[in-house]
């Protein structure tokens, strides 16, 4: 009978060196492989399923097996030709920091559990606030992504508004609580609706404000009742990339005493880019903001932040009581729904340090430039672009056969784009969100899109 070896018996260096070889083998292969797996590669994945063996397997064998059997079944989102959803790649420094962080294996919820985890989060948080030009006194919670950031921001809004009315929602719940009104745009992101449903605020009990032709909330239609209100604005419409007119809407909402939460999952990064900053003007007047790090900052999954002007309110909304955690025990967990978690600040810090302010701005601007090149190229080939390409998102209308054309482009496997339903129309949706995308990637992808489309029109 074979016993599990202790760490000192395993040649950790050769295991990790072997793993690094698998990693670089994978990454250098991205350039030439299809963006989505072929049928054959999907069949290989079947080799991964069998009864768990009785006997242990050597770690280097496990890794070799994972690489040879699993790597072909990935979607090449780490490469430069994936334009589906809004998916960032992984910056080299962030990827490498992710490896170091795995060796550290920190539980970053508590300061006593990870001084470095807390420190890196605090510094990365300051850098993010500076880049996005948000109030420096704000608290920042590192969460899995914008969905949880929206949840945390809205939980803080709920806490603050109900506290003002003398209601302790954390203790007494929503049964019998004073009513809150929630205002969203007609093109609100589904994750806001999910957060509202988790918070007992109801995903359908919302006032929907009409939007303009780009999906932005209309200031002239920004009307709601005079009662305690949470207003959810959006920086980065998931289809068009458009940003709500913050400078007009936030003062109007504030006038009525509302809490303003901004879902800025990807679009708020415009505030860090010299040529796009003007689109977000006035966004710093809000109370809370959600931003993804795994999308446009190109930090590995999963990573996002909630930023809130009033850190004490987030702490109150997220408070937790345990005998082994005296109230006020310092630590990043105070600003998030979770307790134990990975040290997300490590990759965020590494990504930001490797880019510098200039690099962040360039990353955003480069993606936007690529989006414009695709839009112009498709337009010149005779296809219709549905949105004003103000950021990194492009919507394409190929006519009645749009859906078949999207399928054909996906099957060509040079790039990947998804479909969407937007303002009553089926459209192809392009999102350029990766540092890895080159001019050559854009030209190859454009050619693939045009070739596929021309077969149908
Ligand atoms: C992606 C996205 C979300 C959800 O973010 P996750 O990181 O997937 O949780 C929320 N809002 C907008 C506008 C998004 O683009």
Instruction: Assess whether the C-beta atom of 304 lies below 6 angstroms from ligand 1.
Output: yes
In a domain, 414, yes or no: no
Q: Can you point out the beta strands (E) in 324-440?
A: 384-385, 393-397, 418-422, 425-431
Domain boundary among 293, 324, 351: 351
Ligand 1 center–CA 291 separation, angstroms: 8
- pLDDT value of residue 139: 98
Q: Is the pTM of this model over 0.85?
A: yes
* Domain, as residue range, for 250: 96-351
- pLDDT value of residue 3: 65
Q: Are residues 121 and 159 in the same domain?
A: yes
Ligand 1 center–CA 223 separation, angstroms: 26
Instruction: Assess whether the C-beta atom of 145 lies below 6 angstroms from ligand 1.
Output: yes
Instruction: Assess whether the C-beta atom of 195 lies below 6 angstroms from ligand 1.
Output: no
The torsion angles phi and psi of 207, rounded to 5 degrees, stand at -95, 120
Ligand 1 center–CA 193 separation, angstroms: 12
Domain boundary among 48, 76, 104: 76
In a domain, 302, yes or no: yes
Q: Are residues 173 and 64 in the same domain?
A: no
Task: Choose the residue to mutate in 295, 298, 302, 337 for probing ligand 1, maximizing ligand atoms within 8 Å of C-beta.
Answer: 295
What CA–CA distance (Å, rounded) separates 407 from 398? 12
Q: Are residues 298 and 157 in the same domain?
A: yes
Q: Residue for token digits 């070739």?
A: 451
Q: Which two tokens stand for residue 336?
A: 């998030």
Segments of the chain with pLDDT less than 50 = 1
- pLDDT value of residue 321: 80
Residue 236 CB neighbours (<10 A): 31
Q: Are residues 49 and 100 in the same domain?
A: no
CATH of the domain at 155: 3.40.640.10
In a domain, 374, yes or no: no
Q: Are strands 206-209 and 181-185 parallel, antiparallel or unpaired?
A: parallel
222 in the Ramachandran plot: left (φ > 0), alpha (ψ -120 to 50) or beta? beta
Q: Are residues 340 and 280 in the same domain?
A: yes
Instruction: Assess whether the C-beta atom of 147 lies below 6 angstroms from ligand 1.
Output: yes
Domain boundary among 30, 45, 76: 76
Q: Residue for token digits 């040649």?
A: 11
Give Cα 424 distance to the centre of its chain.
26
Q: Are residues 42 and 111 in the same domain?
A: no
Q: Nearest Cα to 61, choosing from 19, 90, 122, 4?
A: 19
257 in the Ramachandran plot: left (φ > 0), alpha (ψ -120 to 50) or beta? left
In a domain, 380, yes or no: no
Ligand 1 center–CA 322 separation, angstroms: 32
In a domain, 382, yes or no: no
What CA–CA distance (Å, rounded) separates 260 from 262? 7
Looking at the structure of the chain, the number of domains it has is 2
Strand partners, 184: 208
In a domain, 433, yes or no: no
Count CA atoms closer than 13 A to 233's CA, side-chain side.
35
Q: How are strands ordered across the β-sheet holding 393-397? A: 384-385, 393-397, 425-431, 418-422
- pLDDT value of residue 2: 57
pLDDT tens by residue, 337-375: 999 999 999 999 999 999 999 999 999 999 999 999 999
Report which protein residue has its CA nearest ligand 1's atom 2: 265
């Amino acid at each position: 009978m074979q016993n599990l070896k202790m760490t000192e018996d395993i040649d950790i260096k050769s295991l990790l060196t072997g793993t690094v070889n698998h990693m670089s083998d994978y990454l250098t292969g991205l350039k030439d492989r299809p963006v989505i797996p072929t049928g054959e590669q999907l069949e290989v994945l079947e080799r991964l399923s069998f009864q768990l063996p009785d006997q242990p397997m050597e770690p280097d064998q496990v890794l070799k097996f994972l690489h040879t059997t699993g790597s072909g079944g990935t979607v090449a989102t780490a490469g430069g030709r994936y334009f589906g959803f809004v998916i960032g790649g992984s910056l080299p420094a962030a990827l490498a920091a992710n490896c170091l962080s795995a060796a550290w294996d920190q539980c970053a919820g508590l300061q006593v559990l990870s001084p470095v985890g807390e420190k890196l989060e605090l510094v990365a948080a300051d850098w993010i606030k500076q880049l996005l030009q948000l109030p420096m006194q704000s608290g920042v919670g590192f969460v899995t992504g914008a969905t949880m950031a929206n949840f945390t921001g809205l939980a803080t809004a709920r806490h603050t508004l109900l506290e003002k009315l003398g209601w302790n929602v954390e203790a007494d719940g929503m049964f019998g609580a004073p009513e809150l009104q929630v205002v969203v745009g007609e093109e609100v992101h589904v994750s806001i609706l999910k957060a509202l449903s988790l918070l007992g605020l109801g995903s359908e009990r919302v006032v929907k404000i009409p939007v303009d032709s780009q999906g932005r909330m209309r200031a002239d239609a920004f009307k709601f009742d005079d009662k305690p209100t949470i207003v959810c604005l959006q920086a980065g419409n998931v289809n068009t990339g458009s940003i709500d007119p913050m400078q007009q809407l936030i003062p109007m909402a504030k006038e009525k005493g509302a809490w303003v939460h901004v879902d800025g999952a990807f679009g708020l990064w415009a505030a860090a880019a010299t040529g796009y900053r003007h689109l977000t003007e006035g966004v710093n007047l809000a109370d809370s903001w959600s931003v993804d790090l795994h999308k446009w900052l190109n930090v590995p999954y999963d990573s996002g932040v909630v930023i809130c002007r009033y850190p004490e309110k987030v702490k109150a909304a997220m408070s937790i009581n345990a005998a082994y955690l005296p109230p006020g025990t310092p630590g990043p967990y105070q600003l998030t729904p979770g307790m134990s978690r990975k040290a997300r600040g490590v990759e965020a810090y590494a990504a930001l340090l490797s880019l510098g302010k200039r690099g962040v701005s360039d990353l955003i601007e480069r993606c936007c430039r690529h989006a414009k090149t695709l839009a112009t190229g498709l337009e010149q080939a005779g296809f219709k672009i549905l949105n004003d390409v103000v950021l990194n998102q492009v919507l394409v209308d190929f006519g009645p056969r749009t859906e078949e054309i999207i399928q054909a482009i996906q099957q060509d496997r040079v790039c990947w784009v998804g479909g969407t339903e937007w303002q009553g129309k089926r459209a192809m949706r392009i999102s350029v969100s990766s540092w890895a995308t080159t001019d050559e990637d854009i030209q190859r992808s454009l050619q693939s899109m045009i070739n596929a489309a021309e077969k149908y029109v």
